[in-house]
Structure 1
């Protein structure tokens, strides 16, 4: 018997003995012990949680500097072994091919609902009220996405963040929008995936949008782990954020180089890699299971299952999945609570949104959404990190000196910065949102100019600087509320609608 045969026989004997002993076999590649099955384990990042005592808060006031040390991040566990095994098990697809094979169509113009409107239910018929600033670009999603109660859009980034020349192959300027699963009851509430599609906690998906062709495609974000048999598998991304939600809110994203940074509200930042977009239906025939490189098959018809199950790969019905490759966890204790939208003014911040400033040394901005209360009056904080340090995915990263401030206003859903100009998206539930401008003046982040009314339900912000394309700079966002004529909150003077839109930066800066 040759050496290979002897080794195979030895492995078979080991497996048999392990099964007889009621044990699972550890992976041959020396990976950690098999992880928990889907839904029963903690995913990273996972910040240290603490409880505030009754001591008075020390909020110094809107716009004042915030302690830089509380923004510090530390790298999570090394996931490279899991990614290598997943890469060996499943075929990959690049961003360019994914966009070329996009299966959904964008609407524009009159085909879209209008979340800007002309009135405001708070101000009524005030004749001095300026109309919302009109966007220069506006796109809407297909009907099932626009009206979905399950998926809510939050985050926006684009090739303007990814590369300085703002182009990606033949698709000149792809834009990415992040959505979170909002309606699942969660696995801890007695609901199982086998019962109903609605039971599944699908986590986060990203829409890869090509405005030039007016097409887009969804990609499901996933967490890699080893199942109880020691086999590589994946689960939807989720975190402990009860009672508000079970999954992560993904309120902000930044695409930088090959990496996609996604905000994990109470924990830090999750990192995904564009080089590892897995394709579970490469023959583009959903009716037929595809063979996979590991000798199994993949199924994109069953939208109730995810990961490797009984020799078949599932993905909640999505063709593409993108696994998490790293994480950044807040080093400071997290005192914020998922049960309240007010914010502590000390400890780790919330990661409510992300953006990228390319006007100097490239920096990733991270900030908080906060609704102040009498007990917790903080408007929320914002800080910036050298993004090149985050790309290392090891060690620790501190926020840039002089970059951390309390925000000059509250209920902020997105912040962008370019050449010293700050742009701030403020939401007012079902009223038109407010777009503010600010600059650092005398050591404080101060509002600069008046309120600019914008879409109902404005979210994350991204800044297209136009350096590589010659296009005029744009400020991108997405609105979250679905149009629903049966909901009085979304009719009359505030017609809701989910749209991806951009304002000319020059229009924003020219407002009084």
Structure 2
């Protein structure tokens, strides 16, 4: 029975790849030929372990820290009236290339099984640079039930600027996805108000995870930041008035590292018991410092999913947990908190899956427990592993002549489910891609 199941999976994979070839998304031979080093089957992480003790859950509490309204108003008075997403999209000055225009090297990073049904690579000016790296994605499908922000379908992608000291900047691509055949985008710099709103600095952080819910964008922090998450208001986007590499107030106006737009943070979340200082490795006794984020619209209310990855061969478990979003219309896009401004975790797990980069939780039915999808990067080569995990066990796709589990993309990109279309969006290498969640479910059942 097991052997026949493998043959069926292989036939499905061949048929799907044949369809994609006709649509211009065929993978190169280098992508479909799995090397001997890649063919080693990844260790099965087994079942999720619920974390239920009060001590474990208390460590996951976050305290909300709003930027004073006076500071935001002072910055707006100095920089000019803020704009919204529609204004930013109207100035899109770059285009994503469809997969058939991407190089074989770029497409090599795409998943093998299940295969992408839509894929794009960035403008050559952005895909060529090695200093900036795409890591996270969220969409207007997260933001609103109808999948649109105003009149537009929008994709946001977070990029990190690598520096030798690990203290690079963070930027977001605002992608106009109204026409699937012609995606355009432009950049905005993520910033933090300082000096009571008289200036701003760049966000010194990796943006390995981001979620757009209602009018707020939540991003992970690392590097020089001591908070677990920063919050941005997508109705409060400012224009830079000086085209320079500096960040903040400069002679003659405001500079955003050469970008036309800048988002100043409006709030942050810090561990209730201290600062989010990342130690080497992840420890379930440590404070919450999320690496990955996603939105779960299948919960009630919608919830923020977070993951904190354990390193490979570290002997520790990756942590997964969730927070509910507030139902209060005056707290649109913010987490549910108590009277002291503290958000508590609703659910938490430990998993033996190491070095998890992408995380997604989704209930396939109204009365079912959620499935957790965990993306892990490749140890060697270009392909990582996507696991489906719950309290009963784990499953990953199989591909190649050796039935390897390394069938996903490079595994370094976050996961975002666009409920209206049924697609999961992610990043692999320099590719932005999507595929139906139903295809993932079929492959990982």
TM-score of the superposition, structure 2-length normalised? 0.76
Counterparts of 1:118 and 1:82 in 2: how far apart (Å)? 44
Equivalence for 2:48: 63
Deviation at 1:310? 3.4
2:349 to 405, 415, 420: 405
> Which structure 2 segments of 5+ residues have no match?
1-44, 328-333, 364-369, 398-404
Which of 376, 384, 390 in structure 2 is aligned with 1:439? Answer: 390
Q: How does 1:103-252 map to 2 (within 5 A)?
A: 103-114=93-104, 117=108, 131-171=112-152, 173-183=153-163, 185=165, 203-211=169-177, 212=179, 213-226=182-195, 232-238=198-204, 248-252=205-209
Residue 426 of structure 2, aligned match among 466, 477, 485: 477
Aligned-residue offset at 1:316: 1.2
* Partner in structure 2 of residue 306 of structure 1: 247
Q: Deviation at 1:448?
A: 3.7
3-state SS in 2 of match to 1:424: strand
- Identify which of 240, 253, 263 aligns with 1:322: 263
Moved more, 255-264 or 326-335: 326-335
Secondary structure of the residue aligned to 1:160 is helix
Q: Distance in 2 between matches of 1:409 and 1:277?
A: 38
Cα displacement (A) at 1:391? 4.4
Distance 1:359 1:118, change over 3 A: closer
Count, aligned residues:
365
SS in 1 for 2:384: strand
Distance 2:412 2:286 in 1: 27
Task: Find the partner of 1:507 among 421, 428, 439.
Answer: 439
Equivalent of 2:77 in 84, 88, 100? 88
Structure 1: unaligned runs, 5 residues or longer: 1-59, 120-129, 187-200, 239-247, 281-297, 482-497
- What CA distance in whole angstroms lies between the structure 1 residues aligned with 2:176 and 2:59? 38
Q: Which residue of 2 aligns with 1:353?
A: 292
Residues 336/318 of structure 1: CA separation in 2 closer, same or farther (3 Å cut): closer
1:76 deviates by 2.1
| Alpha-carbon contact 2:309-2:357 (below 8 Å) kept | yes
Deviations 1:63-120 (A, max 9, x none): 212322211101225432211111112232210121122111110122124556499x
Q: Distance in 1 between matches of 2:256 and 2:293?
A: 27
Contact 2:325–2:336 at 8 Å: present in 1 too? no
Distance 2:46 2:284 in 1: 10
Which secondary structure state, in structure 2, belongs to the residue aligned with residue 343 of structure 1? coil
Match in the other structure for 2:378: 428
Q: CA RMSD in A?
A: 2.6
1:97 corresponds to 2:87? yes
Task: Summarize the Cα distance change of 1:456–1:347 in structure 2 as closer, same or farther, 3 Å threshold.
Answer: closer
Mean Cα displacement is larger for which, 145-154 or 446-455?
A: 446-455
Distance in 2, Cα, partners of 1:452 & 1:511:
13
Whole-angstrom distance in 1 between the partners of 2:442 and 2:406: 11
- Assess if the C-alpha contact under 8 Å between 1:263 and 1:270 holds in 2: yes
* Length-normalised TM-score, structure 1: 0.66
The superposition leaves residues 400-427 of structure 1 with CA deviations (integer Å, 9 ceiling, x where unpaired) of: 0xx2001241111011111122211111
For the pair shown, the structure with the greater C-alpha radius of gyration is: 1
Shift of 1:323: 0.2
Alpha-carbon shift at residue 132 of structure 1 (Å) = 3.6
